[in-house]
Amino acid sequence: MQNAPEETALSDVPVETLPVSLPALTRPDEDSRIAAEVKAFVRDGNLAAARDHFAALVVRQQRRASRIAYHFLRDAADADEAVQDAFVKVFSHIESFREDLPFEVWFTRILINGCLDRQKARRRRARWMIPSLDVEQGERSRTESVPSHGPSPEELLLLRERRTQIASAVGKLPERQRTIFLLCHYQGCSSKEVSTITGLNESTVRVHLFRAVRKLRSLLGGNL
Amino acid sequence: MKMDRFHPADDRLIALYFGDGEANAEERRAVRQHLHGCETCTWRYTELTAPLERLRQDAASEADEVFTPSRLDAQRARILDTLAETAHASRVIPFPAGTTRLDRSVVRRPIARWVAAAAAAGLLVGVMAGRLLDTGTGPSVSPAPVVRSTKATIAAPTLISDSPMPTLTGERDEAMLSEIDQAVYSQRIAALSALDQLTPHIRQETVLARAIR
């Protein structure tokens, strides 16, 4: 368990299905209830009502999804697209959603697989193509997005530097450690939830989390 | 109990911070108890976990600075627009009835083309085999000089002349097929075979016309 193989990418796991072994919910949460309604409307052919209900689901999950995608991709436009794709994919596969399972976990899995695919595509582009102006523009728009009111320019500069350092350190983590760290720490997911999302068992999730924290502490030192 | 005497390691303090679920619950309880009575470890716990907590809060606020409420509204609008467009498209495609099958045939046309090319190649080989067979059996057809010259032992003249519809032995079959292979896949012909496949052959057409009749 300690030496879990790193080479299998999370995105190799089928996207639309969840492990059969996932424990059933004793009481469905609100998101799962809405998702079940959307599924029922789609099954009845009432797509307009399904979309209306789905809009409520989007409102509830959108901020969380955007945070996750942004932390994975570190690019606002890319994260935007990843979130959009994930919601569209969820709607088009809603019939494979199991009502007795948490919607959030299913959705997060789809979102993360999309983010990992985008990262892979980005690495391929970086290997074979000359960096375009868009990347620089994206970088600039991200730094400009920090509001001008509030902290002083010096404080802003320091904050930006710190964030860049942290992002770079998180980016240096192996894929599994990074995924687990972002979900457990940034999103506050339990190791059971992360286990379901990633398909790894709970103790492996914890091992990867501790390794990630240890590595970040060594990379960032006093800046953590 | 052990914990009261031995200070927990950093990993155990971090485990307490991230702790959830039933696994290692007993150990976490012991560490927590130790922290209540040990100022040094409480200080260590804070030193270890405060930066992590700051990191978490900063990460959330960084993402929220980028994804402002207006940006989230725009994102939501785009998602719902895409869903509406998809629904629209799915309503149009199946009309009129039976189009789906036609569409598929259009989509599969390149595959059909390959199948046709393969069939043509097969036919060509078949025709060549037929020609070679003719040379061995029928006295009316002049024998192909290449075949005769390369393998003198292919056909025993007595066997051929004995029966008007001869049954080939396994040996002769093999020999003939190897001749065909040599002829068809030799470098010179292979280079031209693509062009040959595209060209209608008079003999091929005649055979087909006969078959139809």
Cβ within 8 Å, pair A147-B79: no
pLDDT in tens, A139-159: 444 444 445 456 788 888 888
The chain A residue lying nearest B61, using CA atoms, is: A67
Tell whether the model's pLDDT for residue A104 goes beyond 50.
yes
- Chain A residues inside the 8 Å CB shell of B20: 190-192
pLDDT of A41 > 70? The answer is yes
Q: Say whether B76 and A59 touch across the interface (CB within 8 A).
A: yes
pLDDT at B41: 92
Q: Is the pLDDT of residue B38 over 80?
A: yes
A211 and B CB contact within 8 Å: no
Q: Is A221 left (phi over 0), alpha (psi -120 to 50) or beta?
A: left
Q: Is the interface score ipTM higher than 0.90?
A: no
Contact yes or no for A62 and B76 at CB 8 A: yes
DSSP helix/strand/coil, B11? helix
Range A29-46 average pLDDT: 93
Beta carbons of A166 and B65 less than 8 Å apart: no
A170-179, B31-40, B42-51, B179-188: range with lowest mean pLDDT: B179-188
CA distance B134 to chain A (A): 58
User: For A18-144, which CATH class?
Assistant: mainly alpha
pLDDT: which is higher, B98 or A184: A184
Q: State which fold the A146-224 domain adopts.
A: Arc Repressor Mutant, subunit A (1.10.10)
B22 and chain A: CB distance < 8 Å anywhere?
A: no
CA distance A46 to chain B (A): 11
Which one, of A155, A181, A161, lies nearest residue A170 by Cα? Answer: A181
User: B21 at the A interface (CB within 8 A)?
Assistant: yes
Q: What is the pLDDT of residue B16?
A: 87
Q: Indicate the domain borders of chain A.
A: 18-144, 146-224
